[in-house]
């Protein structure tokens, strides 16, 4: 806080001298938090350590022996979970305050080691055979259990990503566009399925107060998955893509109501941008038949972008009051 602001307020008679003293006192005792710096150091440490261990294991697979390797991973994994369990807070369906960064990262390390363990089993012993789904299912269950039991958002994200993988799509933030083949209807269908399931999970979390603070994460993944599938569907349907605007409009309506209810500017912006992308795609598709028109496109974007800007300004105004 800026003490000069309060000194000015005091001289104007807006605050009492006790208040001014309290502010000055608090300001003189103010502590500088290195919480995030420590978190980042820890994050880099875990990233480097797990990465380095991974490479060493990979390189020495022949000399160390598979059983020994599996045993080592299992012991480390159990150790991480044991540490997290020692430092746990009693379970609650509400948000549980943090147990400190070390316990948080122990949960994460446990999750990662468990995934490595299962990958190893699958790669070396082919335990799941061709049913790759199972290789996603087990870590997924563990991730979700860790997320709920230890109240861990990171584990929840891992669980959601594994859930997407189980159903055959990649929904990690920077992989969602790169790794997915959105030209197949199977993929589009999976995208919808994952998205709608996640958004249902968000609704349930919120409505029945089961880890209410997880709702945002569920919604965030679900929303992007659904919207990307909408856009892909419009693209794939070709001339019938226009018809797909109707289900997309209904979906946008639902998101609109949700964003209004939760006062989430983020969801509102995402909805507007995806809707705009879908509409523009259909417009370009239809007009490309009748004219070459670069000028038509320029005019289209100038006018529509103005309308979208007005719309955003309107949403901002109506959601604040």
Partner 1 sequence: MIAYNRQQLDNLEVLREADLAFRKELITSEELAAIQQQHRLNIYKPNFFIRVGLVITTVFIVVALFCLVGLALDISDESTFTVMCFFWALFCYVALELIIYSRHHFESGVDDALLWLSGAFFYVMILETGNWDTDSTASFMTLLLTGTVLAVRFFSAGMATAAFIGLTGIFYNAGINIGAPLLIPFTLIAVSAGVYILSQQALSNPSAKYHTMPLEMLCILALGVAYASGNYFMVKESGIVADVPLPMMIFCWIWTIAIPILYIYQGIRSKDMLILRTGLILVAAGAFTIRYYYEVMATEVIMILAGSVLILIARIITRYLRQPRHGFTAEAPEDNDEMTGNIEALIVAETFHDTPQKPDDGFKFGGGSGMGGGASGNF
Residues 235-264, interacting with partner 1 (CB under 8 A): none
The Cα 185–Cα 217 span in angstroms is 26
Contacts of 300 (CB under 8 A, 6+ apart): 280, 283, 287
What DSSP character marks residue 291? Answer: -
Q: Least distance to partner 1 from the beta carbon of 269, Å?
A: 4
Q: Are 271 and 259 in contact (CB under 8 A)?
A: yes
Query: Which H or E run contains 254?
Result: helix 241-262
Rule CB under 8 A: is residue 279 a binding residue for partner 1? no
For residue 142, state whether it binds partner 1 (rule: CB under 8 A): no
Min. distance of Cβ 207 from partner 1 in angstroms? 19
Binding to partner 1 (CB under 8 A): which residues in 188-227?
213, 216-217, 220
Per CB under 8 A, the segment of 27-35, 86-94, 200-208, 236-244 that binds partner 1 is: 27-35
Residue 31 is encoded by which pair of tokens?
């502590």
The yes or no reply on residue 133 touching partner 1 (CB under 8 A) is yes
**Distance from chain centroid for Cα 274:** 17
170 binding partner 1? (CB under 8 A): yes
How far is the C-alpha of 236 from the C-alpha of 171, rounded, in Å? 20
The dihedrals phi and psi of 29, each to the nearest 5 degrees, come to -95, 5
Question: Among residues 136, 150, 192, 218, which is the contact residue for partner 1, using CB under 8 A?
Answer: 136
Can you tell me which of 77, 103, 142, 161 binds partner 1, judged by CB under 8 A? Answer: 161
User: Which residue bears the tokens 């789904």?
Assistant: 133
- Choice between 93 and 240, CB closer to partner 1: 93
Residues 75-94 interacting with partner 1 (rule: CB under 8 A):
none
Does residue 70 belong to the site contacting partner 1 (CB under 8 A)?
A: no
State in angstroms the smallest separation of the CB of 64 from partner 1. Answer: 13
Q: Does 122 bind partner 1 (CB under 8 A)?
A: yes
Q: Tell me how far apart the alpha carbons of residues 3 and 1 are, in angstroms, rounded to a whole number.
A: 6
Residue written as tokens 């990690």? 172
The answer to whether residue 34 forms part of the interface with partner 1 (CB under 8 A) is yes
Of residues 26 and 250, the one with the C-beta less far from partner 1: 26
């Amino acid at each position: 806080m800026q003490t000069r602001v309060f000194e000015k307020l005091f001289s104007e008679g807006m605050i009492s001298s006790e208040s001014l003293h309290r502010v000055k006192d608090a300001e003189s005792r103010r502590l500088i938090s290195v919480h995030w710096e420590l978190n980042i150091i820890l994050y880099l440490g875990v990233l480097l350590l797990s990465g380095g261990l991974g490479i060493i294991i990979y390189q020495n697979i022949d000399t160390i022996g598979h059983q020994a390797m599996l045993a080592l991973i299992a012991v480390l994994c159990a150790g991480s979970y044991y540490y997290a369990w020692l430092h746990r807070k009693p379970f609650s369906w509400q948000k549980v305050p943090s147990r400190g960064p070390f316990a948080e990262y122990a949960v994460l390390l446990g999750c990662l080691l468990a995934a490595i363990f299962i990958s190893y089993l699958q790669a070396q012993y082919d335990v799941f055979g061709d049913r790759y789904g199972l290789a996603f299912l087990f870590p997924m269950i563990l991730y979700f259990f860790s997320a709920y039991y230890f109240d861990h958002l990171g584990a929840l994200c891992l669980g959601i990503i594994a859930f997407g993988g189980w159903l055959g799509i990649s929904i990690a933030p920077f992989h969602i566009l790169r790794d997915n083949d959105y030209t197949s209807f199977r993929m589009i269908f999976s995208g919808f399925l994952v998205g709608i399931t996640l958004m249902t999970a968000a609704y349930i979390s919120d409505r029945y107060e089961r880890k209410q603070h997880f709702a945002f994460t569920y919604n965030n993944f679900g929303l992007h998955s659904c919207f990307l599938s909408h856009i892909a569907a419009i693209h794939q349907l070709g001339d019938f893509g226009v018809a797909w605007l109707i289900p997309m409009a209904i979906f946008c309506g639902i998101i609109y109501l949700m964003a209004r209810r939760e006062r989430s500017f983020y969801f509102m912006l995402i909805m507007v941008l995806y809707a705009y992308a879908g509409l523009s795609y259909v417009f370009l598709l239809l007009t490309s038949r009748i004219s070459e028109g670069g000028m038509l496109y320029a005019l289209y974007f100038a006018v529509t972008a103005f309308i979208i800007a007005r719309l955003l300004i309107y949403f901002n105004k109506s959601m604040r009051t």
